[in-house]
Amino acid sequence: MSGVFPDSKLRELIGSGAIVGSQPITDAQVQPASLDLRLGKRAWRLRASFLPGKGARIDERLADFEMHSMDLSNGAVLEKGCVYLVPLMESLRLPEGITAVANAKSSTGRLDLLTRLITDEGTEFDRLPDGYDGPLYAEICPRSFSVLVRPGMRLNQLRLRSGQAVLDDAGLRALHAETPLVGGTALIDQGLGFSVDLRPESSDLVGYRAKPHSGVIDLDRIGAYDPREFWDPLHSRDGRLILDPGAFYILVSRESVAIPADYAAEMAPYLAMVGEFRVHYAGFFDPGFGIGPSGNGARGVLEVRCHEAPFALEHGQVVGRLVYEKMQARPDRLYGQDIASNYQGQGLKLAKQFSAYAG
């Protein structure tokens, strides 16, 4: 059966030994449509990011790129602008017919903490071939803030699937007609389009820009940091925002989106028609996202990095799309309903390590 594996199937794979942990895999790692991956006990500082390529293992290529190693057992700082390689506690022995894709978790993306999965013989990041058998590694590059990490922290997640179950535009229109995915008219073109909100109803606060020189963030400290020490608030009275090259922004979608219980979605990270910036470094949306007692959906938080030239972003400008995929079965627990979530029903919201912004 084609589709994204739900939590029950992930538990089956753990039980059968297809997913293995150097420490027992916990139930808290199993999400409705993905598995959280944990950092191991050691990190290597690299002089450059790399992919091993066909026929090569990561441990064989490491000597070409490593600068020094670090013990994470008592906590260690990963410095802004540096590249690190961390073996993960999980490894895979996938049966034939099962592929996997990885992505950063929401809080990871909102901290501009570039985290990508690499594997033995890998030729691309975050994509695992059919039946992969081997170890998993995280490449981590803090872009805006230095961070304190420890073994067991969960920065990225793995989604497994069999076959091809991505909805084409006709299927997406049919789903929207049955269960509205956004309020009002849906822009459907190779996925569900969404735009940026630069004219919020309640204030002129439209987002945040990361400060260039800030302190270290301990990823285990929830709600502990004053956002004013790390972020500049952004205001717009004309529905326009000029993005600075190299700067990192937290913005929010104009649309409230919903992911029905039998579907998962992924935000496409690049748009050919918008070449000056990238939107969303953490792209998984789980079944049940935006579906609560009111059924009104939830805004998508946009993690935006501008590229070579200043770029004028306008209110309502289309900046990305959600690609929907059928689940193999409905999850036992849904996002934000049966399990706690920091981001269900979200609006413009920073990572969970920050306290609420008070103007």
Per-residue model confidence (pLDDT) at position 273: 52
User: pLDDT band at residue 307, thresholds of 50, 70 and 90?
Assistant: confident
What residue ranges of the chain are covered by domains with CATH 2.70.40.10? 3-162, 169-220+228-326
pLDDT band at 174 (very low <50, low <70, confident <90, very high): very high
In whole angstroms, what is the distance from residue 278 CA to residue 330 CA?
A: 32
Mean local confidence (pLDDT), 192-205: 89
At the fourth CATH level, the homologous superfamily of domain 3-162 is Deoxyuridine triphosphatase (dUTPase) (2.70.40.10)
Query: Collapsing DSSP states into helix, strand and coil, what is residue 212?
Result: coil
Per-residue pLDDT at 321: 87
**What pLDDT score does 356 carry?**
87
> Cα 32 to the chain's mean position, in Å?
15
Per-residue model confidence (pLDDT) at position 270 = 46
pLDDT of residue 305: 86
Question: pTM of the full predicted structure?
Answer: 0.93
**Do 77 and 142 meet the contact criterion of CB atoms below 8 Å apart?**
no
324 pLDDT tier (thresholds 50, 70, 90): very high
pLDDT for position 156: 96
267: confidence class by pLDDT, cuts 50, 70, 90: confident
**Count of H-run helices and E-run strands, the chain:** 4, 25
Q: How much is the pLDDT for 341? A: 55
Query: In the CATH hierarchy, which fold is given to the domain comprising 169-220+228-326?
Result: Deoxyuridine 5'-Triphosphate Nucleotidohydrolase; Chain A (2.70.40)
Provide, rounded to the nearest whole percent, the portion of the chain with pLDDT above 90: 72
Q: What percent of the chain has pLDDT over 70?
A: 91
Residue 343 banded pLDDT, cuts 50, 70, 90:
very low
Residue 287: how many other CB atoms lie within 10 Å: 25
Alpha-carbon torsion (333, 21, 99, 274), positive or negative: positive
pLDDT, position 184: 75
**Mean local confidence (pLDDT), 201-225:** 93
Residues 324 and 191 sit within 8 Å (Cβ to Cβ): yes
